[in-house]
Amino acid sequence: MTTFITNFLEVFYVLIGLIMLFAGIESFRDQENPARIGTGLFWVILAVIFAGAKFLPYLVIGILILILGLLSLFKQIKPGNIKGIDEKVAEKSAQRLGGWIFMPSVVLAILSIVIAQFTPLGGQIGIGISSVVALITAAVMTHANANTTYHDSERMVRSMGTAGILPQLLAMLGAVFTASGVGELTAKAISGVFPVGNHLLGVALYCIAMAVFTMIMGNGFAAFAVITAGIGIPFVVAQGGAPVVVAALGMTSGYCGTLMTPMAANFNSLPVALMEMKDNLGVIKQQAPVATVLLVIQIGLMYVLAF
Amino acid sequence: MEYLKLIGIVIIILGFALKFDTIAVVIISAVATALVAGISVPDLLTLLGKSFVENRVVSLFFLTLPMIGVIERHGLKQAAVNAIKKLKNLTPGRILNLYLLIREVACAFGITLSGQVQFVRPLISPMVQAAAGARGKLTPKQIDLIKARSAATDNFGNFYAQNLFVASGGVLLMASTMKSLGHAVEPTSIVLYSIPMAVITFIITAIYNMRFDRQFNVKRNKKQED
């Protein structure tokens, strides 16, 4: 079954590669983008990695990743000129479909849980199958054709841009940290000044560290990879804490930090600019009291649920 | 000199804090860590490639993009706007809370529209201002507060409900990272354990928003009845 699932997943990675290839082709064709070559290359390289991982040596993929890094470092990846959607078509279709337009999303969410829970295929295959079923549902309902679906796909991928691949790169970084023994080292360093073995203190240390590092870095995902390896595992999981609770509540503890930092510009500074607010920290001021309360609750909740 | 290995953590924290190019910072951090740990260049490249490929599952959410793109072209935003417009004739706090509920439910179904741009700026903030202004003229400070609270409500809903969707980037990242760390967990279990915080955040934010009404003296319904 495991081999079957691995092979089956490969089909979905090829599909992802295909979607990325669409984005690459359209980026190359975007004459108005001064960085069209770099942007096109970025997506095509990713398409090759996703679809061809089975046939490429890891060494080659490693080199390709370095190239992605160089493209990004030298500002050669830009969203460019992405064609928006036709508001009139959208308005007309919204009139016709009403609330049914949400149907494909409901299909996706429910079907993926059903497949994960009631079949031996597991959650990842579940997401793959239900994404395809949801797309077909959407296409049938909206009478979408292949041409517009192609453009809808490339538009979504290109507008997401490099932010879309960041979670996977952070997961890669986490794996490199593990292979280099960084987790053990931070654990050793911290255990010198912090008592290991006290459940509540361990949980508090982990949750607060998630929040603080997210505040500094402005990105909860990045903090998760680093802090879970360095603190979450040795101070909570290794003491008997349930990994799933540690992960779920650790990430949301990080979000408390996101709500309190000007580093998370997309969430806290963007509204200030959009609405021409006078107080630059206005959004953060409204969020800080709730975020603080939530952090305390999460420490308690993790302590209760994990042990 | 074992502690040199922590150079990667320093790079990533400083890189993000100083707003350097994120993709490059992550890759440089990985390369530096592996080099300091004494891994040779070919082995380092292999490690990068292997770690990236083994974490492809984190990007599984790309598969959901074509569907979202199709329904976006066919009126996803317009349908949501129509639903939210029905929230008229309510107090500021209630508008905010119903929006919070809509945002959380939408997130649970994987619909993460850019809330600040598509809803808060054009719709929620003006609606709350209208509701609060119905009582009397708003001061510039109150208007600023309403804008901030509308943005904050969107963020609360977005952050604490996004992990209710099994194919979200966050859930997949957690599952993949925990697997790399040797403690594999199922994405569906992560969703299950994300429910309590989604509910608690809703309750706390709802109370917070109801209290928000007080500063606008929104008791006009009562007074009219009197």
Whether residue A262 is predicted with pLDDT greater than 90 in this model: the reply is: no
Among candidate residues A174, A262, A125, the one with its CA nearest the CA of residue B34: A174
Question: Quick one: pLDDT band at residue B225, thresholds 50, 70, 90?
Answer: very low
On whether both B143 and B44 belong to a single domain, the answer is no
Put simply, whether A290 touches B (Cβ < 8 Å) is: yes
Q: Cβ–Cβ contacts within 10 Å for residue A239, how many? A: 16
User: Average pLDDT, whole number, for chain A?
Assistant: 91
Residues B75 and B94 placed together within one structural domain of the fold: yes
**Which pLDDT does position B222 carry in this prediction?**
45
Q: What span, in angstroms and rounded, lies between the C-alpha atoms of A216 and A175?
A: 22
Q: Chain A partners of B184 at a C-beta cutoff of 8 Å?
A: 243
Phi, psi of A242 (to 5 degrees): -70, 125
Whether B218 and B147 map to the same domain: the answer is: yes
Q: How many CB atoms are located within 10 Å of the residue A200 CB?
A: 12
pLDDT tens digits along B22-54 = 899 999 999 999 999 999 999 999 999 999 998
Q: pLDDT tens, A281-303?
A: 899 999 999 999 999 999 999 99
Of B173, B75, B27, residue with least CA distance to A98: B75
Total tally of structural domains belonging to chain B: 2
- The residue range of the domain holding B74 is 62-225
According to DSSP, residue B168 is labeled S
Residue A195 touches partner B, C-beta closer than 8 Å: no
Whether B219 and B117 share a structural domain: yes
**Are residues B92 and B186 located together in one domain of the fold?**
yes
Same domain, B49 and B94: no
* Nearest partner of A141 among B183, B76, B179, B215, judged by Cα: B76
Residues A255, B158: Cα–Cα separation, whole Å: 10
**CB proximity under 8 Å: B 31-50 to A:** 31, 33-34, 36-37, 39, 42, 44-50
Decide if A155 and B69 are in contact by the 8 Å CB cutoff: yes
Taking CA atoms, B9 is separated from A224, B6, B46, in Å, by 12, 5, 21
| Yes or no, beta carbons of B65 and A156 under 8 Å apart | yes
Question: Percentage of chain A surpassing pLDDT 70?
Answer: 100
Chain B positions touching A229 (Cβ under 8 A) are 177, 181
**pLDDT at position B224 over 60:** no
Are B127 and B20 found together in one domain?
Answer: no
CA distance A209 to chain B (A): 13
Cα gap A23→A34, rounded to integer Å: 16
Chain A to chain B Cβ contacts (< 8 Å): 467
A274 pLDDT tier (thresholds 50, 70, 90): confident
Cβ separation A66–B191 shorter than 8 A: no
Residues B74 and B169 in one domain: yes
For residue B42, list chain A residues with Cβ-Cβ distance below 8 A. 59
Of A12, A90, A245, the CB nearest to B60: A12
Return the structure tokens found at A116. 């994960």
Helix residue ranges per DSSP H, chain B: 7-17, 22-36, 41-54, 65-73, 76-85, 92-108, 115, 125-133, 140-161, 169-180, 187-212, 220-225
B168 CB-side CA count, 13 A: 28
Of B26, B110, B125, the CB nearest to A275: B125
B134 shares a domain with B88: yes
Q: Is residue B134 domain-shared with residue B208, that is, in the same domain?
A: yes
ipTM exceeding cut-off 0.90 for this assembly:
no
Looking at residue B82, its pLDDT comes to 84
- Same domain for B118 and B49, yes or no, is no
Identity of the residue numbered B213 = D
Together in a domain, B33 and B70: no
Residue A153 tokens read as 């796909």
How many angstroms separate the CA atoms of B222 and B225, rounded? 5
